[in-house]
Amino acid sequence: MAAFGSLSTRLTETLAKLRTKGKLSASDVDGTVREIRRALLDADVALDVVKSFTAAVRERALGAEVSEALNPAQQVVKIVNDELVGILGGESRQLQLAKQPPTVIMLAGLQGAGKTTLAGKLAKHLRGQGHTPLLVASDLQRPNAVTQLQVVGGQAGVPVFAPEPGNGVGDPVRVAREGVAEATRKQHDIVIVDTAGRLGVDADMMRQAADIRKAVQPDEVLFVIDAMIGQDAVATAKAFQEGVDFTGVVLTKLDGDARGGAALSIRGVTGKPIMYASTGETLDDFEPFHPDRMASRILDLGDILTLIEQAQKAFDEEEAHRLAESIATDGFTLEDFLKQMQQLRKAGNFKQMLGMLPGAKGMREAIDSFDERELVRTEAIIQSMTPQERKQSRILNGSRRLRIARGAGVTVTEVNQLMARFEQAAKMMKTVAKGGVPQMPGMGPMPGMRQPKKAAGKPAKQQRRSGNPAKRSAEPAQPAAPQGSAFGKPKAEGAFGELSNADQETLQRMLGNR
């Protein structure tokens, strides 16, 4: 989503100005449309797309659906969201599988767009859906492209057909044709053909891509384009449409610091659907493209559906039930804490997941300051404990904590801080197990929860600590105030803002209250 960061900020700020107005005049609408036009142009969206988008927004905003609405500002947000969904493609499109396997998917695009890595991501994604893909190394032009595809294929757990060494040696058309025959012979149901790119569009590149297409008759031709390419995206897309005639688009580097206009322009200019998005460097940073969800993210309305889908992939249903029973009977242990941590890491990029929550712009500082390495350190500390210590944390005295710190390569202070955070998490999980809504550490009170009243002028009592240094080292460290987040550095109270009832329910499900 970083590719849409600037555009998202501009649009949300523009639409936020309407909330103070009980009724919208024509001048209010014109001013808003003018700001939207500037935001889109600054994001490198093609001029023709900007004109049609803003004209549609203005026409609808001046119509009866806004003038007669009880909340005109919300209605305008809905209109902008609807139009964004429209220019992003309307509905998501799935791969068209061949009636008679194998389904042949050809990748095309400029050099540097990330085709080879994308081939591995797509192969792993399809393998996870029960398919048996085969990667074909037909990029024999770029240095070490064949080797890179073999490495990526190994990481994805997918075989690679690479009869030629590449580096300028071999016939890419013949390799592609033989790759499809190999897939048929070994009963692979999907073939992904990686083709060569150039630093710019040229006649030789298009001729080779067209020859490969003619030789293998692909069911899908996916045009892979770098989301950071800016205005050049339109010219490049048109050239590939004329030379290769692709059937769908894949956006790469959506996590990059770019303006993101390419995504909003390509669909409007070529009429071809955006089918997938690459959102990071690992093979798991890949997802089907849903126009409605992406529009919702751009307008900072959240993407709870994708968040839940990612969580469901990583979180084991049986383990969640076992954890809930454990909390209800024996309590929340460090062993449970470790398993949750490991499942959280499997779910993917934690910052990206937090960015899918509604109102993520309001907690951008908290998200950006989150250090995912803290999860690794926490795992190391818990894994340095004995099984008994993980189940009975109360036995962790000073000497045990010193041993654990040395085993994990951290300080005793860090072990003490982890234990303080664990105790917070244990209290929270106990509340969840009883059907309550917890106060999340560092997130302020959850909506609907009453703040406990404090006696005026009486500060909270703090537990006394021994004056003997040896005894004091054996005592648990006092948690610092203000309380920090569950895993990272201390955050200001209310840093995450308020969540809607639906978001609260989602968080409770992810925390194990099923």
Q: Is 114 annotated as a binding residue?
A: yes
Q: Is 255 annotated as a binding residue?
A: yes
User: Using CA of residue 214, residue 220, residue 222, residue 223, what is the dihedral sign?
Assistant: positive
Q: Is 187 annotated as a binding residue?
A: no
Strands of 190-195's sheet in order across: 160-161, 133-138, 190-195, 103-108, 220-226, 248-252, 274-278, 286-288
Q: Is 253 annotated as a binding residue?
A: yes
Q: Is 354 annotated as a binding residue?
A: no
Residue with tokens 């555009």: 7
Q: Is 195 annotated as a binding residue?
A: yes
DSSP alpha helices (H): ranges in 271-392?
291-298, 304-314, 317-329, 334-346, 350-354, 364-368, 373-383, 387-391
Q: Give the largest Cα separation in the chain, rounded.
A: 83
Q: Is 110 annotated as a binding residue?
A: yes
CB-neighbour burial class of residue 152 (10 A; exposed 0-12, middle 13-18, buried 19+): buried
DSSP state of 377: H
What the block records as the tokens of 418 is 């982890």
What is the number of helices (H) and of strands (E) in the chain? 23, 8
**Cβ atoms within 10 Å, residue 387:** 9
Residue with tokens 């250090």: 371
Q: How many CA atoms lie within 13 A of 474 on its CB side?
A: 9
Q: Is 196 annotated as a binding residue?
A: yes
Q: Is 116 annotated as a binding residue?
A: yes
Contact predicate 225/237, CB 8 Å: yes
Q: Is 254 annotated as a binding residue?
A: yes
Q: Is 467 annotated as a binding residue?
A: no
User: Distance between CA atoms of 32 and 285, rounded to whole angstroms?
Assistant: 35
Which residues make Cβ contacts (< 8 Å) with residue 240, sequence separation at least 6? 108, 109, 201, 206, 209, 223, 246
Q: Is 115 annotated as a binding residue?
A: yes
Which residues make Cβ contacts (< 8 Å) with residue 347, sequence separation at least 6? 310, 311, 313, 314, 315, 353
**Cβ atoms within 10 Å, residue 207:** 11
∠ CA 483-340-485, nearest 5°, is: 15
User: Distance between CA atoms of 457 and 251, rounded to whole angstroms?
Assistant: 58
Q: Is 488 annotated as a binding residue?
A: no
3-state SS, residue 449:
coil
Tell me how long the chain is: 514
Q: Is 111 annotated as a binding residue?
A: yes
Q: Is 407 annotated as a binding residue?
A: no
Peptide bond just before 482 cis, omega within 30 deg: yes
Q: Is 112 annotated as a binding residue?
A: yes
DSSP state of 21: -
Query: Which residues line the annotated binding site?
Result: 109-116, 194-198, 252-255
Query: Which residues line the annotated binding site for GTP?
Result: 109-116, 194-198, 252-255
